[in-house]
Amino acid sequence: MQQLKWGLLGTGWIAEQFANALADLPNAQRWSVLSRNQASAENFAQTHQFAHAYSDQAAFLADPELDVVIIGSPHPRHAEQTIACLNAGKHVLCEKPMGINSQQVEAMIAAAQANQRFLMEAMWMWFHPSTIKAKQLIEAGAIGKPHLFHADFSVHFPFDPSHRMYDPALGGGALLDIGIYPLALALYLFGAPTSVYGQAQLGQTGVDEQESIILEYGDDRQANCVASVRAAGPCEATVTGSSGYIRFQRNFWHSQQLVVQNNGQPSETLDLPFIGNGYVTEVAHVAECIQAGLIESPIVSWAASRSLINTMDQLRQSWGITYPDER
């Protein structure tokens, strides 16, 4: 298999996770890092053993040896940076959300098509053994006919108006950062909803600080998705069917255990560990797609990304939330 040369755009927490995943991936060459600050780029490159460090995006993208870029910057920068990478002939794995609205996502997909380069929204949860196993169990009828989905992503972030979770200029709010996880798990397990509605409570900076969302499917299935940056919740997810349930243990978005109960029988706990820090399988999938000449993932498809962003657009519109870049 051809060795791909990977670049990271950003040096924050998510970039560190991807750097560690690349270190665990054979045939992945840690090639270059881009940060707004040259010292930060150099420190990151030295720590994570990347060959080159940049603070100039044009120079970073001008490197003909760079194959694929992972976008790990704040949400509002994803679209512009992704399109620049695609136009420079680079493949892209873009951290979720792919864009802050559907117009941005459509422009990103159009750039991938025009340049015939791979583009995928980073949704690591869809590659975890627990997520895959849950879908297999549901499809096999292990809990009868599925009816209800419930997921809660509630993590308390102390209020700080300059923090990315509370700053509208950084795409702040619960929905785009953590609310996307319950929505994405519902999409993976139940498919695209036929209708969506919800209630949000906005904070003093104007972002959504907590919300409850209902997804309807028109066939006796319903999903309830909860997200909050105010509360500290159980962070579990459950799918309930006509004869039992499947529960993702705490921190469902990277759970390594499922609890399965059927027909009143004693529950069974399944241990389903992922590789490394949980990002390795996702990055390996991107490499496999690129090697196969694909520009779209068969797992995190563009249709899936469109469905997610359209759902979040509908919710934000109903809540009266717009970001500075949209005005």
72 and 136 both lie in a single domain: no
140 and 250 both lie in a single domain: yes
Question: Does residue 54 have a pLDDT over 90?
Answer: yes
Read off the pLDDT of residues 105-115 as tens digits, 9 standing for 90 and up. Answer: 999 999 999 99
What is the tally of structural domains in the chain? 2
Q: DSSP character for 276? A: T
Any domain includes 89? yes
Any domain includes 312? no
Q: Under a CB-based contact definition with an 8 Å cutoff, are residues 263 and 243 in contact?
A: yes
Tell me which residue range forms the domain holding 36: 4-124+279-296
233 and 290 both lie in a single domain: no
pLDDT of residue 133: 99
Q: How far apart are CA 82 and CA 283, in angstroms?
A: 17
Any domain includes 12? yes
pLDDT of residue 264: 81
Mean pLDDT for the chain? 97
146 and 99 both lie in a single domain: no
89 and 175 both lie in a single domain: no
Report pTM.
0.97
Q: How far apart are CA 120 and CA 139, in angstroms?
A: 25
97 and 119 both lie in a single domain: yes
End-to-end CA distance of the chain: 46
**What CATH number is given to the structural domain containing 269?**
3.30.360.10
Any domain includes 185? yes
Question: Does residue 276 have a pLDDT over 80?
Answer: yes
243-251 average pLDDT score: 97
Read off the pLDDT of residues 277-312 as tens digits, 9 standing for 90 and up. Answer: 999 999 999 999 999 999 999 999 999 999 999 999
51 and 86 both lie in a single domain: yes
63 and 143 both lie in a single domain: no
Q: How far apart are CA 215 and CA 122, in angstroms?
A: 22
14 and 139 both lie in a single domain: no
Any domain includes 304? no
- Residue 156 — pLDDT band, cuts 50, 70, 90? very high
Question: Does residue 1 have a pLDDT over 70?
Answer: no
For a pLDDT cut of 70, what percent of the chain falls above it? 100
191 and 232 both lie in a single domain: yes
102 and 120 both lie in a single domain: yes
Read off the pLDDT of residues 219-229 as tens digits, 9 standing for 90 and up. Answer: 999 999 999 99
174 and 90 both lie in a single domain: no
Question: Does residue 94 have a pLDDT over 80?
Answer: yes
Read off the pLDDT of residues 113-154 as tens digits, 9 standing for 90 and up. Answer: 999 999 999 999 999 999 999 999 999 999 999 999 999 999
pLDDT of residue 99: 97
